[in-house]
Structure 1
């Protein structure tokens, strides 16, 4: 017997919907918690695993790389093979991988566990949202539910630094992964009872060749960027890595251009609004993840804080993002994509430049506000950028556009950790201190972000005036500045 599609699902009672919301939010919370909790434990990992900066970069990027490259495929898997099945499978993989990470005796084993976590997260995250959407067929109820999903699960971002500091200080870095085990067990037990299976028989075919080529291409590029500082930028393995990345990515672009149902349709990038918004999202991921990778290391290694205190000291940025993110879509609806995104990028870029002038003797009273400015700036950009990408395409491709937006942000995160880490290592190899290398990394991230603010200020708009989908004609607001209804629902991960 065929299982129901999303539109055919029964609405169910309020209790069932509340339970489903709790299960899907808790799953996404676990994924977002992992984004920030690891950063707090990096100094302890470096000591316990006897690794250098390169090892820490792989610990972070191994996870982000797999999420970035498999996120779109995970959504297609959920639609084709069952959202409940894929969600619970993702939870199981993520939980088992967390145990493997906690038991890792070396960096290599930890990186392998992080890759497995990335595979689980790439299945869990899109399936959780798809389950929520399927259970709320009415548009108004769906928007409210997704807003709650994004807001409640987003608490994981703010909880990560504090939880990471407390657990690492008390039990050591393996504890930050073991915290996922009880959450995963609860999700598996509750999910089997609460969730209703659904699928989309008309879902596109899986793009296995495109997925493989994208993983190999971005993976080879990441390898060359991370290992270049240690092995030498002109060494054969690094030059070979860059060459392999160029070949794989060129093959990916050529393949996607010929497929009838590509993973990443090239035609979407003919829309200027779509191209500019996703370019800006790459920069957001680059600067946000690349800079936060170093925050705990700055407080521990440069200013001499304990790991617990460092986790608390990084909190202003996470809290600013959690508080401001729910309002970003509303601000964009009122003032337009271009104004809000450009202002956010300018704030974030300015904050990163300000962090580039923070030193070992700088008091925390002159540090926390810089972190908060960065958090506010990036919070103002992510939801409106996703909304701009969605508005640039037809309504039936809104889900694809949202997935592409999340993917480009994750790709930017991979490159941010790799490139800014390379900046620090290059400065150190030239005789500079770790503190000076960090200052250079923050300044580089700030400059890139400010340059992107100029890009969005000039071109984050449609070439000509049009009205937003479903909106009556108006002389006041062209579609280039009015967001689609979905942006507030975008999770801040």
Structure 2
């Protein structure tokens, strides 16, 4: 069967595969963003301090960053459907533990577990799409749907959590996510055909461990550094993080089963897609992760109001991602990435200059601008992630791209918390919190601009 003229059965298979892959990605992003709108009530219920709040927001990113590359290899070598099903089951289990968590530590560990499961779902989803949709306009359209599912998940997660928090408690959102993900697990097993790569690479568990512990040590150093950057604990953690991450690079260079082929960083399309994903996580995702908690404490906007503002950003990105496939073919993927990052930066700059008397209409224009740009980014990232790697390694490309996004998110959330929340700031320090927000928005905008510059430079070297 040729890809140019798929049979009705082939078309049905590709439609089912795209539906399952997009729904899996949507549920993963809903789980990822669920705490954003309810961070204040969640932290209060779990008796979390400032460090605990930061870990609640960044913990799922650690699981995603740790496992995306490994699960991409697992998907390519041992079966994309099999990996998707296992990941969805783990994602559901993590949601169950979140729903019953008695304290911050249990909740954070459950969020890391959700990240591990979500990593398998996301890494295999783009591999499934690449296998069932031939390169060209068909795959571009499917990638647009996948990009829209990213935006939809980001939009619906906080909204679901906020509505259920008002109706019952924040815990019910995780019950709903657990049930929905369990249903999808069964559907994926029944509806998606199995596929593997023609060139297996083998697993790299030590590389995954070094990356996860390195990123975790870096986050811990940033959190502890808020109490004093010259103290012994953050210094030791920074040293440990550097040793682990350097060890990861050295091991990957020498390993015959490296989960990431570092030679790909000599390939401009791969560099562009990876840096764009890193800047997306460290920029707009990091700032939006902090926004709902800030709105509640500093501006008195409740969880549902904050979720609706987030929805203004993320829903706009969904629509834009779906429309992005209509862009002229002359506008290349890397151009879309660079323009998208600049647009996101403009939107975040529009979110600065707040005063303690600001209200929600002041935020909406910047969120809408950032939403349009985010949609362009999401659509282009889904396509460029698999276009920048050799044929048959779509899982690795997807894993590398999403790893960069969530490493950026984990680090970015922590940096935003450090910049935006002075030590000791509370509801009585509204002026300091608003000043911190304005600074954080500028920092994340700068991260986006830096990413756009690197993407543009990689394009000129092509």
Q: Does TM, scored on the shorter chain, surpass 0.5?
A: yes
Partner of 1:68: 65
Q: Distance in 2 between matches of 1:402 and 1:127?
A: 8
C-alpha displacement of 1:276 = 4.4
Structure 1 unmatched ranges of 5 or more: 1-9, 464-479, 481-493
Partner of 1:440: 439
C-alpha displacement of 1:52 = 2.7
Q: Residues 179-223 of structure 1: CA distance to partner in whole angstroms, max 9, x if unpaired?
A: 112212322333333233333463211111211111111111111
Q: Distance in 1 between matches of 2:411 and 2:68?
A: 17
C-alpha displacement of 1:446 = 1.8
Structure 2 unmatched ranges of 5 or more: 1-6
| 3-state DSSP of counterpart to 1:187 | helix
Q: Residues 462-481 of structure 1: CA distance to partner in whole angstroms, max 9, x if unpaired?
A: 43xxxxxxxxxxxxxxxx5x
Q: Residues 314-360 of structure 1: CA distance to partner in whole angstroms, max 9, x if unpaired?
A: 22111121111234455473334554433332222222122121233
Q: Distance in 1 between matches of 2:107 and 2:358?
A: 34
C-alpha displacement of 1:109 = 0.5
Q: Residues 140-169 of structure 1: CA distance to partner in whole angstroms, max 9, x if unpaired?
A: 655544544443564222222322211111
| Of 389, 406, 411, the match for 2:407 | 411
Contact 2:221 2:237 in 1 (8 A): yes
Q: Which moved more, 1:272-281 or 1:296-305?
A: 272-281
Q: Which moved more, 1:38-47 or 1:129-138?
A: 129-138
Contact 2:145 2:322 in 1 (8 A): no
Q: Distance in 2 between matches of 1:433 and 1:384?
A: 38
5 Å matches for 1:183-332?
183-200=180-197, 202-230=199-227, 232-328=228-324, 330-331=326-327
Contact 2:147 2:379 in 1 (8 A): no
Contact 1:294 1:438 in 2 (8 A): no
TM (normalized to structure 1)? 0.83
Q: Distance in 2 between matches of 1:206 and 1:221?
A: 25
| Of 72, 82, 85, the match for 1:85 | 82
Contact 1:157 1:322 in 2 (8 A): no
Partner of 1:422: 418
Contact 1:29 1:153 in 2 (8 A): yes
5 Å matches for 1:82-121?
82-121=79-118
Q: Residues 63-99 of structure 1: CA distance to partner in whole angstroms, max 9, x if unpaired?
A: 1111112111112112333333222211111111101
Q: Residues 105-145 of structure 1: CA distance to partner in whole angstroms, max 9, x if unpaired?
A: 10001001101111111112222333444445687655544
Q: Residues 254-310 of structure 1: CA distance to partner in whole angstroms, max 9, x if unpaired?
A: 111112342222211123453344233312210122101121123211221221122
Residues 1:329 and 1:54: Cα distance change in structure 2 (over 3 Å): farther
Contact 2:162 2:304 in 1 (8 A): yes
Determine whether 1:34 maps to 2:31: yes
Q: Distance in 2 between matches of 1:184 and 1:314?
A: 23
Q: Which moved more, 1:146-155 or 1:439-448?
A: 146-155
Q: Distance in 2 between matches of 1:412 and 1:222?
A: 11
| 3-state DSSP of counterpart to 2:38 | helix
Q: Distance in 2 between matches of 1:455 and 1:133?
A: 27
Q: Residues 8-51 of structure 1: CA distance to partner in whole angstroms, max 9, x if unpaired?
A: xx984655554444433322221121232221111111221222
Partner of 1:367: 363
Residues 1:453 and 1:137: Cα distance change in structure 2 (over 3 Å): closer
Determine whether 1:165 maps to 2:186: no
Residues 1:277 and 1:190: Cα distance change in structure 2 (over 3 Å): closer
Determine whether 1:58 maps to 2:55: yes
Alignment root-mean-square deviation, CA? 2.9
Q: Distance in 1 between matches of 2:167 and 2:342?
A: 39
Q: Distance in 2 between matches of 1:314 and 1:290?
A: 13
Residues 1:433 and 1:462: Cα distance change in structure 2 (over 3 Å): closer
Aligned length: 455
Partner of 2:351: 355
Contact 2:279 2:408 in 1 (8 A): yes
Q: Residues 353-375 of structure 1: CA distance to partner in whole angstroms, max 9, x if unpaired?
A: 22121233223322211111122
Contact 1:345 1:381 in 2 (8 A): yes
Q: Residues 397-437 of structure 1: CA distance to partner in whole angstroms, max 9, x if unpaired?
A: 56533432222111111110111111123475798622222
> Highest relative contact order (Cα 8 Å, sep 6+), 1 or 2?
2
